[in-house]
Amino acid sequence: MNPIIEFNNVGKTYPQEKNAAIHEVSFAVNEGEFVCFIGASGSGKTTTLKLIAGLEEPSAGTIKRPEIVAMTFQSGALFPWLTVFENAALGLRQKGIAGEHLAREVDKRLRMVGIFDFREKYPSELSGGQRQRVGIARALAVDPAVLLLDEPFSALDAKTTAELHDDVIKIWRETGKTIVIVSHLIEEAVSLAGRVVLFRDGTIDTIYPIDLPYPRREQAEGFMRETERIRRAFFK
């Protein structure tokens, strides 16, 4: 196993905050792994994700992370004045890629997430699920070593969420990307991840390996057992 992300005793205290957002966080994510961070609000999962993304710098400890990391956001964080295509092309344009190469790369990702037909639309013309798909296409377009998903499904209805779960698993299997997702739903974590990292009070409480075959359905054998195991620790 080749660790692509490594945290060693990492702490983060925001300026003008008395308590640390996270402290003594140590873990590693291997290349090609699908990891889910769960925990209550303020438990430190999103701060940890931001540290992986390079959006924050640690106050203590060391972090090893790859150079190209892409991220999607709960809100979608699409630029309303850009079309779907231009939003997805954002990172590549910034790298100086243009013309046919850009169009080919972006269109490939838009097709992968099933949003190609909407490439000329603006974000305001899309549903919440479609916006998340654009966000994923935008992240995949830069060919990141790690894809970070910050509560991407929390504002979506159950049907759209289930469809997106399947699509994210499909993308993960097709691309072999390392994926780290933040969620507050235990069922979602068990549906998607190979390992579930439970955060509590700013540090890692327990890491649960989930050894179930995909696609994981709630009715499948073992699903409820894994969910209950994590739930008991979550509400401890």
DSSP 48: H
> For residues 129 and 194, which CB has a smaller minimum distance to other proteins in the complex?
129
79 binds other proteins (CB under 8 A): yes
Provide the token pair at 64.
């090893």
Q: Report DSSP letters for 57-113, one per residue.
A: --SEEEEE--S-EEEE-TT----TTS-HHHHHTHHHHHTT--HHHHHHHHHHHHHHT
d(CA 155, CA 10) in angstroms, rounded, equals 30
Tell which one of 35, 69, 134, 181 touches other proteins (CB under 8 A). 69
For residues 212, 215, 218 and 219, what is the CA-based torsion angle, rounded to 10 degrees?
Answer: -90
75 binds other proteins (CB under 8 A): yes
How many residues make contact with other proteins (CB under 8 A)?
A: 23
- The contact pattern for other proteins, residues 103-122, with x = CB under 8 A and - = no contact, is -------------------x
- The contact pattern for other proteins, residues 87-106, with x = CB under 8 A and - = no contact, is ---xx--xx-----------
Tell which one of 50, 109, 133, 216 touches other proteins (CB under 8 A). 50
Provide the token pair at 230.
């994590």
* Interface stretch with other proteins, choices 50-58, 157-165, 170-178, 208-216 (CB under 8 A): 50-58
Tell which one of 2, 124, 213, 236 touches other proteins (CB under 8 A). 124
30 binds other proteins (CB under 8 A): no
